[in-house]
């Protein structure tokens, strides 16, 4: 039995007549910029994340960037983050004028909190953990260290909408949370989009102005800002898909559990994603560590199964980071992981038989 298993199925998700109707009606009003749907999104996203304030932005990258700007971070400041993330995490730090300082990750792919204090210098201003794969970083320890050293915390929650520790949702721990609504994310729109969460009315107000040229009213600015607004049409899409976000998460969790069960007893070949009883993971990705990865990828591709690697090149080995003084060997755990990790399809449109098929072919590769 052979079948095709795509890594994602966006065409299927977006064949949605109700959504088309909602978008069509916007073309009668034509309030394309800062229409009322943006505010509606902000109110609902704040509730979703369990925070007092949320703002719609043009991307997850700018959510990180504007949080840094609003906190006054820039030239001469250091921001501690991880080398195992999408490049935007470090890119936003550099765009703000600050220096990304990497610490290695732990076996759970997230910031190794035992290494943070060793990386703190008098220039350190912010801890910027990433909730990679939709699994929250260890925010309890990170917040303790931040309090002790008087550092800000910005959570890169781009992959982790509604993930939680003891019921407390990501984006509600730090000074700000940065979310992406990119088509590939769990809560996705039909283009670029992002959101910032915060408990601080002050920070919210600063970012609200920064995203809209620094304007405080129609004609006057308080300071120079940017154009980082969430399009009204994408806000309409976000409001629509938000109704479904819990169902999407539940299906991804169920799919992940099927893989876990299928791979039980294969510890010699396949390392499963970490699990913690107090943590809600949302499985933006289902990442295994696999022996002999290139051959496994080929084996699966030949059987119609699409996989990805998140991410094949650690950020500290990207060209501009070599100029910052980083080199191979600096973060051995991250580098080891980058050679072994493999993301299996886990999206909400998979049928159970497809997941069993993927698992069977992975097992067949090792037992073959």
Ligand X SMILES: *Cc1c(COP(=O)(O)O)cnc(C)c1O
Chain residues in the site for ligand X (CB under 6 A): 59-61, 85-86, 88-89, 130, 156, 158-159, 180, 182, 192, 194
Give me the least distance between CB of 128 and ligand X, in Å please.
10
Give me the least distance between CB of 131 and ligand X, in Å please.
8
Q: Which residues contact 219 (CB under 8 A, 6 or more apart)?
A: none
For residues 182 and 206, which CB has a smaller minimum distance to ligand X in the complex?
182
For residues 59 and 232, which CB has a smaller minimum distance to ligand X in the complex?
59
For residues 192 and 361, which CB has a smaller minimum distance to ligand X in the complex?
192
For residues 83 and 258, which CB has a smaller minimum distance to ligand X in the complex?
83
| Torsion 178-180-186-187 (CA) sign | positive
Dist CA 313 CA 253 (whole Å) = 27
**272 token code pair:** 């499963």
Dist CA 41 CA 37 (whole Å) = 6
Q: Residue 19 — left, alpha, or beta (φ > 0 → left; ψ -120 to 50 → alpha)?
A: alpha
Which residue has the closest beta carbon to ligand X?
60
For residues 164 and 296, which CB has a smaller minimum distance to ligand X in the complex?
164
Give me the least distance between CB of 262 and ligand X, in Å please.
26
Give me the least distance between CB of 156 and ligand X, in Å please.
5
In 3D space, the residue among 270, 268, 344, 350 whose CA is nearest the CA of residue 309 turns out to be: 344
Phi and psi torsions of 18, nearest 5°: -60, -45
In 3D space, the residue among 24, 27, 348 whose CA is nearest the CA of residue 187 turns out to be: 348
Give me the least distance between CB of 320 and ligand X, in Å please.
17
């Amino acid at each position: 039995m052979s079948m095709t298993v795509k890594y994602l199925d966006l065409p299927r998700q977006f064949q949605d007549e109700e959504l088309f109707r909602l978008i069509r009606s916007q073309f009668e009003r034509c309030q394309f910029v800062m229409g009322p749907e943006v505010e509606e999104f902000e109110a609902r996203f704040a509730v979703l994340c369990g925070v007092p304030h949320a703002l719609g932005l043009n991307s997850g990258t700018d959510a990180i960037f504007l949080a840094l700007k609003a906190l006054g971070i820039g030239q001469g400041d250091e921001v501690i983050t991880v080398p195992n993330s999408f490049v935007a995490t470090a890119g936003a730090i550099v765009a703000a004028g600050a220096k990304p300082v990497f610490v290695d990750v732990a076996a759970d792919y997230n910031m190794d909190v035992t290494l943070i204090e060793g990386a703190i210098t008098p220039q350190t201003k912010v801890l910027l953990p990433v909730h990679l794969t939709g699994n929250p970083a260890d925010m309890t320890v990170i917040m303790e260290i931040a309090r002790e050293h008087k550092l800000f915390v910005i959570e890169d929650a781009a992959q982790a909408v509604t993930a939680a520790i003891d019921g407390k949702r990501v984006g509600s721990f730090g000074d700000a949370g940065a979310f992406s609504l990119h088509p590939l994310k769990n809560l996705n729109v039909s283009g670029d989009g992002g959101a910032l969460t915060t408990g601080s009315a002050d920070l919210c107000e600063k970012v609200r102005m920064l995203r809209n040229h620094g304007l405080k009213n129609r004609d006057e600015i308080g300071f120079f800002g940017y154009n980082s607004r969430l399009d009204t049409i994408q806000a309409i899409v976000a409001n629509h898909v938000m109704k479904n976000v819990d169902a999407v998460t539940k299906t991804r969790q169920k799919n992940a559990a099927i893989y876990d069960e299928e791979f039980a007893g294969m510890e010699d070949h396949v390392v499963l994603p970490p699990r913690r009883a107090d943590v809600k993971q949302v499985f933006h990705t289902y990442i295994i560590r696999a022996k002999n990865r290139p051959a496994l990828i080929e084996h699966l591709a030949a059987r119609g199964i699409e996989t990805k690697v998140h991410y094949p090149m650690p950020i500290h080995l990207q060209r501009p980071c070599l100029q910052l003084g980083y080199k191979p060997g600096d973060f051995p755990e991250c580098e080891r992981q980058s050679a072994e990790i493999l993301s299996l399809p886990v999206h909400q449109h998979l049928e159970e038989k497809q997941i069993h098929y993927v698992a069977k072919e992975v097992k067949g590769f090792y037992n073959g």
